[in-house]
Structure 1
Amino acid sequence: MLSNLTGWHFLIILVIIMLLFGAPKLPGLARSLGQSMKIFKSEMTPESPPTGTDTVKPNPATPVAPSPTESSLTEARHVEPPAKL
C-alpha cells in the first residue's frame, strides 16, 4: 500500500499537515516527535552501565548478633515456681 506513494503524495500530505497544524506549530511538533523517538530507541536498547561512572559494588554488611536485653536475660534464667500451700 505504501509502495504506491510518490513524491506528489508526500507533498500533498505535507500541505494538509501545514493547514491542520499551522506553520508556527510545526517546529514544536517535529521536536516532540524527535524526543519521543529518542526515548523509544533508548528504551529498546539493552541496559548498559552509564559511561564515566565507576561501578563499585559496596561490601555487604556483616550480620551483627543482637545484644541481649534485660527481658531476654530474665527469660533465660531458671525461675522456681512458687511453692503450693
Structure 2
Amino acid sequence: MKPEDLDALIAGNVRAARARARMRQEDLADELGWSRPVVGTLEAGKRRVTLADAVLLCRALDITLNELLQGVPNEVFRSLGLTEAQ
C-alpha cells in the first residue's frame, strides 16, 4: 500500500468516525489541540498521520486503532506485528 493511499484511507475513517460522533471539524480540533484547518487537511488526505497523531485521534474519536485503520490490507498489520483488522 502506498503512503498516499494509506493517508486517504485514514482520512476517510476519521471523517466517518467524526460524523458518527456528531462532531464538527472545530470540535475535533478542540479535542486534539489543533486548528480546524489542520483537521481539514488531515481529512482531505493531505496530512500524514504520525503514530502520536493516531493515538490522539483514537482517544478524541473514542475508536480503536483497528477502527482508524479499517480497510488497510492485513499484510500491513502483519508487517507491524499487529493483529489483523477484524
TM-score norm. by structure 2 comes to 0.29
Higher normalized contact order (CA 8 Å, seq sep 6+, divided by chain length): 2
> When you count helix as a share of all residues, which structure comes out higher?
2
TM-score norm. by structure 1 comes to 0.29
**Higher radius of gyration, 1 or 2:** 1
